[in-house]
Amino acid sequence: MRSKGSASALEALRRRAVARVLKGQTQAAVADTLGVHPVTVAKWMAHHRASGDAGLAAKPMPGRPRFLAPGQERQVKIWLSQKPSEHGFRTDLWSSRRIVDLIRRKFGITFHPASMRRWLTERGYSPQRPARKARQRNDDAIFDWVANEWPRIQKKQSKQTPTLS
């Protein structure tokens, strides 16, 4: 597990530990003084013996490479400002699956839609959900029912409910 601190701060700590050991302090005493495990100081000394000062140099932290290059990210943001139908989709609603599909088609990069949702959220995009509406829905009939039938049903219920005295 990597210690906490910047790469340069950790490199300075390694160099300080090796310098103290080379001046004659024991590895255990140096470890106790610097607040690290004695095995850690032993590993630093082994790196120093094998590679000299270069063995103590800060190394870049390996990590997952970016999904998209900065230019590709800009292009995706441009796509998001356009309608999905301009890119061959049936409806005008972006989804992470659609964006992933478009990126795969245009850039040849494949990754999971969950990663795209996280990517979108980190950049301030919110999820879009389609407004579900039944095809058979008749708004005029619904309006008529609410205006006429619903009050009639409420009147019947109030007549049947006994009053408490």
- pLDDT tens-digit readout, 28-58: 999 999 999 999 999 999 999 998 888 888 8
Domain map (residue ranges) of the chain = 7-56, 70-122
Give, to the nearest 10 degrees, the angle between helix 70-80 and helix 96-107: 130
pLDDT tens across 82-115, in order?
A: 999 999 988 888 888 999 999 999 999 888 888 8
d(CA 26, CA 12): 19
**Which residue stretches of the chain are H helix?**
7-22, 27-34, 38-51, 70-80, 96-107, 113-122, 139-144, 150-160
Q: How far is CA 87 from CA 37, 84, 90, 143, 150, in A?
A: 57, 5, 9, 38, 46
State pTM to two decimals.
0.45
In 3-state terms, what secondary structure has residue 75?
helix
